[in-house]
Amino acid sequence: MAAPRVLSPDDGSRVTPIRAPRETMARMGDLAVLPVFLKLDGKTVLVAGGSAGTAWKAELLAAAGAHVRLVWAEPDAEARLLAADWPGRVTLFERNLVDGDFAGIAVAIGALEDDAEAADFADLARARGIPVNVVDKPAFCDFQFGAIVNRSPLVIGISTDGGAPTLGQAVRSLIETLLPAGFAGWARAAKAWRPRVSHAGLDAGQRKGFWRQFAAMAMARPHEPPCPVEREAMIAGIEQAGPATRSGHLALVGAGPGDPELLTLKAVRLLREADVILHDDLVGEGILAFARREARKIHVGKRRGEASCHQGDICDLAVLLASEGNRVVRLKGGDPLIFGRADEEIAAARAAGVPLTIVNGVSAAMGAAASMATSLTLRGVARRLQFITAHDERGLLPDSLDWSAIADPDASTCIYMGRSNLATTMACAIAAGLLPDTPARFVINATRPDEAVIAASAATIAAEVAACTQAGPGVLLLGCAFAADQPKAAAALPMALAAQ
């Protein structure tokens, strides 16, 4: 990567400090419990009965391949039926628990109503170093059972740390509706195929490519598991293509104005597939959580008046990483094609011969209008929509702005990066003919939990924004469409409706 550039403008304008791209770590948030999956096949487990949940816990453990030692002095009919159905897997002892029942077991489960009995059971297990669970008594548990989605060997466990089992069951039901039962066949195929793929002579990149194809096929046809013929065809295709098939790729992805739910499905897919993510300052909280944990995250943010990465360095880094065979996502706030300097990154990718994908995002103006439940256009009033920036490379108003277009009463104008120059912008627009009472809405942190909307007129919006202490990126929406109570808009609406 080239050394960071330092701007030295000779026009006396402000110089933005330059910083190099830096790798960031998305640390794991606090976990109430650690999800683990126990291999119990062929191992002995103890279930001490005494409550309605005893037989169910015994069945669950037996389904996982364990030999269940079920001790219950007065078993119910369900426990007897379970032992009869699974002889050799579930052995029922109709007596009280004794110390010898703990010999040679992997885990101990107590379904005991009395707290004193539960405490004694837990103490006996822990004294022997045996993990223990007492049903519905978290204080005596070393581990917990969660709600289970069974697509074995694909198994999903859901825990609420004992706080809300009903919520866990609701989440399980939701996942089951989204995860077809046919995925079990794909999971079985993956388990059966892994030795063949591991010994097929493919390198690490090719093996990863095989399993990516496999996962894509599973998502496309979950109810139709693959056959060995397809496996061999996939291996042959990868072998024929050779190691060069692990070519890199660059995707310019719009992160939207902040709300993670506004990401497109394609954006989420690319984030989950990415090896490296180059993200800027305006990416909303929670969006990077869609990425794989092992993906590299590199901060390449640019903010006015703060230490910022030079655009040339970002282009160089994106191309270098993709040229090394990585799937690179350049993650930008809003839409990458609207004042995101995408043209420079597109040119760099094309010059280097790097495959390129562009994924649109919800732009800040669109997100702001949706949050306010207002339209960007208004039939009969706002016939034209324009996006402009009030910020050039010097941090000043661009010299080439068409003030007559901004003053056009039939236009809705969305002004990006205009907070610092807002007073000058409004003064110039009014001088060019913009009506001073034109509705103006300045939206800070659009679509985010801390969104703030400042409503004023063209003549007063700059003072209102200057008095606001809310930090964050802002966009100005200017025009009659942004206030239906304005005289011109109110008069035009009946005529527009009548013309429909």
99-129 pLDDT per residue, tens: 999 999 999 999 988 899 999 999 999 999 9
Residue 133's alpha-carbon distances to 46, 99, 157, in angstroms, are 10, 17, 16
Phi, psi (deg, nearest 5) at residue 331: -95, 120
pLDDT of residue 386: 95
DSSP 8-state class, residue 394: T
Phi, psi (deg, nearest 5) at residue 374: -130, 160
Is there a catalytic annotation at residue 280?
A: yes
Is there a catalytic annotation at residue 488?
A: no
pLDDT of residue 494: 44
- In terms of Cβ atoms closer than 10 Å to its own Cβ (0-12, 13-18, 19+), residue 430 is middle
Give residue-wise pLDDT tens across range 5-57.
433 334 444 445 566 777 766 666 788 888 888 899 999 999 998 777 788 89
The residue type of 13 is S
Place of tokens 């702001």: 368
Give the Cα separation of 264 and 268 in Å (integer).
Answer: 6
Whether residue 153 is preceded by a cis peptide bond, meaning omega within 30 degrees of 0, is yes
Task: Centre a 10 Å sphere on the Cβ of residue 129 and count the other Cβ atoms it contains.
Answer: 6
Confidence of residue 248 (pLDDT cuts 50, 70, 90): confident
Active-site residue, selected from the candidate residues 57, 137, 297, 302: 302
Give the Cα separation of 181 and 151 in Å (integer).
Answer: 6
Strand 439-444 and strand 452-457: pairing? antiparallel
Check pLDDT > 60 for residue 69.
yes
Active-site residue, selected from the candidate residues 280, 313, 335, 408: 280
**Do residues 390 and 398 touch, judged by C-beta distance below 8 A?**
yes
Task: Centre a 10 Å sphere on the Cβ of residue 73 and count the other Cβ atoms it contains.
Answer: 12
Q: Say whether 328 sits in a helix, a strand or coil.
A: strand
Give residue-wise pLDDT tens across range 164-197.
888 988 998 888 888 888 889 999 999 999 999 9
Nearest to 447 by CA among 255, 269, 271: 255
The 3-class secondary structure across 329-342, one letter per residue, is EEEECECCCCCCCH
